[in-house]
A and B are shown apart, each in its own frame.
Chain A
Amino acid sequence: MKISKSIYWFFLPGLVLYSLFFLYPTFSALFYSFTDWDGLSTAFQFVGIDNYTRAFTGDSIFQKTIGNNLKFMLTVVVFQTLVALAFALIVIKNTKTNVFLRALYFFPTILSSVSVAFIWAFIYDPSMGILNQVLQLVGLDFLAQNWLGNANIAIYSLAITQIWFHAGQMLIIFVAGLQAIPEELYEVAKIEGASKWQAFRSVTWPLLAPSATIVVAYTTIQSFKAFDLVFAMTGGGPNNSTEIIATYIYDVAFKSYQFGYASSISVIFMVIIALITYLQFKALRSDRVSY
């Protein structure tokens, strides 16, 4: 089939937008990461790899943010994936109830993140919050916590909010993946005498791998970029225990006016996300589905 050359013009708007809003900022960040630019003045100096050296050897808060981000990411990826998968298995059939439940589970996703942050900050409030009050009401006082004020658990409290916020989105991806699995395979498994668990392990899970890969990769990226939720709920506190890389970049750039250094952290951040996503794709091997 011959394609007219004029069709290439249609790439232009997308290419212009992509270059303007992605390529240009990305290369600018890379460029400024080797400078001491303060973000305001026109003058700056090249400082070589000083910013990178500082990030890895002379900035204990940045190192702490990497740890916080990993805790947050692992909690969110594991539990959000499991919750979404479990709920997807429950609502897989297209009954009226299930369609309603899917919409219900998806509902938090359409809320703005700042609204979600305010709702959950209120839920977590140690004195007036509904969570501690319910726990006390059902006799589980010992579980009542200072959810966002305790430096040891605040990051996990944020992770729970993130899971509530985005699990519905992942559920939809899983439902689509589950519905694409041919029914015959389950019939064969049944004839072969496979239990439900064996059918899940040998049929569902391998064929769901492409969906799982998307879910895990997307959840990972999402959890690294959970800036708005963290910013609105804790601002990185207490004692930097919920400071993640994204909020730290903001602090360094816009509160300390060290754009050069913030750019170097952004570049490191980008490399970390790319590396983790690559490793996940390799581990989940989504392209090797076998029957």
Chain B
Amino acid sequence: MKGCIKTMTRCVAFFIIFSMIFSNTSDYLRRPDDESDEIHAFYDEPKDSIDVLFMGSSPILRGVSPMVMWKQNGFTSYVRASALQAPSVTYGLLGESLEYQSPELVVLLCDNIFLEFDYGEREGDLRRALDGMKMSKYKFQIVNQVIAADDRQTLLSYMFPLFRYHERWKEINWAEAEPTPLMVHSFKKGNVYLRGGEPQEYPENFMEPSSTLAPEFNESAKDYIEKTINLCKEKNISVLMLHLPKMSWSYEQSMAIEDFAKEMGVDYLDCDREEIRTQLNLDPAVDYYDQGHMNLIGSIKLSQWFGEYLDITYNLPDHRNEEAYQKWNEDYQLYAEKTKAVS
């Protein structure tokens, strides 16, 4: 018996040492990524403290600033988005988010309803979201789909990203290397803004009706967006389907999504529609990073208008003077400092 206890103790001690080295090595070899960090920092928000969740891919990640909305309107929000986020990931990410928060509104960017998502080709994009997520049944479900679609990928590499990034030891200058664990708290609340950018111009006849038919919805994407909306309905959360400004968009696509939103019984807002564009007053030469994304100037401009729109439309609460939300004011100070040159 004594020998057995000694053996068990040694095994536990060995496992602890192994885990510590494993964790530290993972932090050294992790592919540093702002989007994964922002997705992960979500867990630091106090339970049930977020009023609005923004879900979807890069336009919402780059274009919506929860901090601007906080300063202007006082409601709390978080962007849980990542570049080219697959609708299946959005669904899982939302499911997981709702375990931590009970928002009044979910804003769903759904341009990807037209896209076929290739899990094999888009491994990098998948990882931006999944590497930031804690292990949960939602992450497990997403990974299972990924593995089913691409047998080169493994559950283990998503549970422990070191098994994916293990060969990065070759890229690292060990003399200067530092561990880069996932970010714990974010002052940007999920927004990953872009500075600078190229001056843009709207294409000819932009958002004007044409004889071209809208592309078909991707069946899988549509299914997941439906599931996402139904999940919100089950939890009595309002849903706003959203399209943010980008140059490669058409009137027909906009109408197709509007019809879909009507069918699903949710709101739809298309920021490329003429009347919204007029209100937004975006300058393509200044406010865009590239054809599909706002830069920091554009995101602030857009967030100011959009915050006002959400506040009025959904009658969101104002927490700015509440004791429990003082950390948001501190975070805003940091945000303002970092974006000072622009705002």
Partners in one complex: no
